[in-house]
């Protein structure tokens, strides 16, 4: 599966280069070779729409194609197809290091002189760490490389442990883990009050899996806010956490024009799938053995499927000991379904 996914990503990068530049990566490399052979100046990022800052220096790696995938409650991914006049770049000089991708929409269609005179006020940055770097071919004096860039939260997938946390809120548990691992770029935008968790076990799992499932259990989502020199993990529980992109409250639609010189959406798709109709939780409190803590959450989905009511997700020992807690966890579960 990993090999298939990697091959698919390579094809997607090549297709992105084709749609953005009107050429394949190989033909772009040939064009660079012809420019170099003619005695023209070395290519530079100073007038490019997409730039990359890395420990190697300003103009060592030029972005040919970039795919940036952003999600809610899932790790973001940045995949880059790069060109360089250096054929022997050492991967160890980049893997694990911090890099920054810059998107400069105001540079589109401008000459280099106009770009110098006009500051980039709408530049969007994507900061992260190099997870992989590979040499994938060459053409003349130009070598192609591929790079994947990930947020700091990705490093938690590389550490596993067995631990017990007692009488702490989810924010306290997450803060403890993040600080212990050396990460401080996070923010809690949690509007609803949550009680301390009496007892929770992390058993032979990665810190990432533990943190992700804990946030899911407590009805929290997470995403990343990218700034010029850092990215921040933002944990929230309401739509108020999401903010408008600066200077881009709306975005234009350009049908079948992925190579447009202006920002816009070229394609928009929707997908629907059958979900669980209701959720039932049951638990037992030995302090009140005669009390029933059963709670069933009815669906609020707008799906008009007559069969949805026949499906039910039932869970016993759902880790709550009061009726109100059961209602809260059932609501979180149904929100996740919807």
The predicted-structure confidence for 119-137, as pLDDT tens digits, reads as follows: 556 788 999 999 999 999 9
Residues 50 and 140 in one domain: yes
Cβ atoms of 78 and 66 closer than 8 Å? yes
Could you tell me if 139 and 33 are in contact, meaning their C-beta atoms sit under 8 angstroms apart? yes
Is residue 23 domain-shared with residue 56, that is, in the same domain? Answer: yes
Amino acid 196: pLDDT? 93
Angle of helix 323-337 versus helix 207-217 axis, rounded to 10: 110
Q: Are residues 108 and 215 in the same domain?
A: no
Q: Is residue 30 one of the residues assigned to a domain?
A: yes
Q: Let me know if 327 is exposed, middle or buried by CB neighbors in 10 A (0-12, 13-18, 19+).
A: middle
**Ranges assigned E (strand) in the chain:** 50-53, 62-69, 77-84, 98-103, 124-139, 142-150, 160-168, 186-189, 197-206, 221-226, 231-236, 278-282, 295-297, 312-316
Specify if 315 maps to a domain: yes
The answer to the question of residue 304 being in a domain is yes
Phi, psi of 276 (to 5 degrees): -70, 140
Q: Quick one: 169 and 229 in the same domain?
A: yes
In a domain, 170, yes or no: yes
Cβ contacts of 325 within 8 Å, gap of 6 or more: 195
Beta-sheet strands, E only, within 151-272: 160-168, 186-189, 197-206, 221-226, 231-236
What is the predicted pLDDT for the residue at 40? 45
Percent of the chain with pLDDT over 70: 77
247 found inside a domain: no
Quote the pLDDT of residue 121: 63
Domain region containing 213 = 154-237
pLDDT classification of 26: cutoffs 50, 70, 90: low
> If you average pLDDT over residues 282-308, what whole number do you get?
71
Contacts of 32 by beta carbon, 8 Å cutoff, 6+ apart:
43, 83, 141, 142
- Are 136 and 160 in a shared domain? no
Distance CA 13, CA 29 (A): 15
Residue 73 to residue 158: CA distance in whole angstroms: 18
The reported pLDDT for the residue numbered 1 is 42
The residue with greater pLDDT, 266 or 193, is 193
- 263 in a structural domain: no
Q: Are residues 15 and 122 in the same domain?
A: yes
Question: What pLDDT is stored for residue 270 in this prediction?
Answer: 87
The region of weakest confidence among 31-35, 59-63, 82-86, 262-266 is: 31-35
Identify whether residues 75 and 105 lie together within a single domain: yes
Which range is least confidently modeled, 68-82, 84-98, 137-151, 264-278? Answer: 264-278
Q: Which of 184, 206, 237 is the last residue of a domain?
A: 237
Domain count, the chain: 3
Contact 201, 174 (CB under 8 A): no
268-273 long-range contacts, Cβ below 8 Å, gap at least 24?
A: 272/303
Specify the higher pLDDT residue, 95 or 113.
95
Q: Which pLDDT score is estimated for 4?
A: 42
Phi and psi at residue 259, to the nearest 5°: -95, 15
CATH number reported for the structural domain that contains residue 219 in this entry: 3.55.50.10
CB burial of residue 182 (10 Å; 0-12, 13-18, 19+): exposed
- Mean pLDDT within 204-219: 96
Q: Are residues 59 and 81 in the same domain?
A: yes
- With beta carbons less than 8 A apart as the criterion, state whether 78 and 67 touch: yes
Region of poorest pLDDT, from 8-22, 139-153, 184-198, 250-264: 8-22
Could you tell me if residue 244 is inside a domain? no
Q: What is the mean pLDDT of residues 223-244?
A: 92
Choose among 314, 126, 138, 323: nearest CA to 225. 126
Q: Is residue 259 part of a domain?
A: no
* Pair (95, 210) in one structural domain: no
Question: Could you give the CA distance from residue 228 to residue 123 in angstroms, rounded to a whole number?
Answer: 9
pLDDT band at 3 (very low <50, low <70, confident <90, very high): very low
Confidence of residue 42 (pLDDT cuts 50, 70, 90): low
Mean pLDDT of 109-115: 52
pLDDT of residue 38: 44
pTM: 0.80
Same domain membership, residue 145 and residue 82? yes
Q: What is the C-alpha separation between 263 and 260, in angstroms, rounded?
A: 7
Q: Mark which of 150, 165, 187 sits at the end of a domain.
A: 150
pLDDT averaged over the chain?
A: 81
Which of 124, 150, 176 lies at the terminal end of a domain, its last residue?
A: 150
pLDDT in the model for residue 304: 64
220 and 316 fall within a common domain: no
Residue 250 confidence class, pLDDT cut points 50, 70, 90: confident
Nearest to 136 by CA among 270, 253, 29: 29
- Is the domain of 17 the same as that of 143? yes
């Amino acid at each position: 599966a990993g090999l298939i996914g990697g091959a698919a990503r390579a094809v997607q990068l090549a297709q992105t280069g084709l749609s953005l530049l009107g050429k394949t990566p190989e033909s772009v490399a040939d064009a660079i070779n012809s420019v170099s052979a003619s005695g023209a100046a070395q290519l530079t990022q100073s007038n490019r729409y997409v730039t990359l800052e890395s420990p190697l220096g300003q103009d060592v790696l030029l972005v040919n194609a970039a795919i940036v995938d952003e999600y809610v409650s899932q790790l973001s991914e940045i995949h880059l197809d790069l060109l360089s006049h250096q054929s022997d770049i050492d991967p160890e000089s980049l893997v694990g290091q911090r890099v920054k991708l810059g998107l400069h929409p105001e540079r589109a269609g401008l000459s280099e002189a106009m770009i110098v005179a006009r500051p980039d006020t709408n530049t969007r940055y994507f900061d992260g760490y190099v997870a992989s770097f590979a040499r994938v071919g060459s053409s003349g004096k130009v070598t192609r490389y591929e790079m994947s860039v990930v947020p700091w939260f990705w490093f938690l997938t590389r550490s596993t442990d067995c631990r017990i946390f007692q009488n702490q809120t989810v924010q306290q548990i997450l803060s403890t883990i993040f600080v212990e691992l050396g990460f401080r770029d996070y923010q809690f935008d949690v509007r609803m009050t949550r009680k301390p968790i009496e007892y929770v076990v992390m058993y032979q799992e990665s810190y990432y899996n533990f943190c992700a499932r804990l946030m899911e259990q407590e009805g929290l989502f997470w995403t990343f806010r990218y700034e010029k020199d850092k990215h921040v993990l933002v944990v929230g529980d309401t739509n108020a956490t999401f903010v408008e992109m600066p200077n881009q409250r709306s975005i234009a639609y350009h049908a079948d024009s992925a190579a447009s010189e202006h920002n816009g959406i070229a394609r928009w798709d929707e997908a629907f799938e059958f979900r669980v109709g209701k959720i039932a939780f049951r638990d037992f409190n030995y302090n009140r053995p005669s009390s029933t803590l059963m709670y069933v959450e009815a669906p609020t989905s707008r799906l008009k499927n007559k069969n949805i009511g026949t499906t039910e997700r039932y869970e016993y020992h759902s880790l709550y000991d009061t009726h109100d807690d059961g209602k809260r966890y059932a609501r979180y579960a149904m929100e996740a379904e919807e």
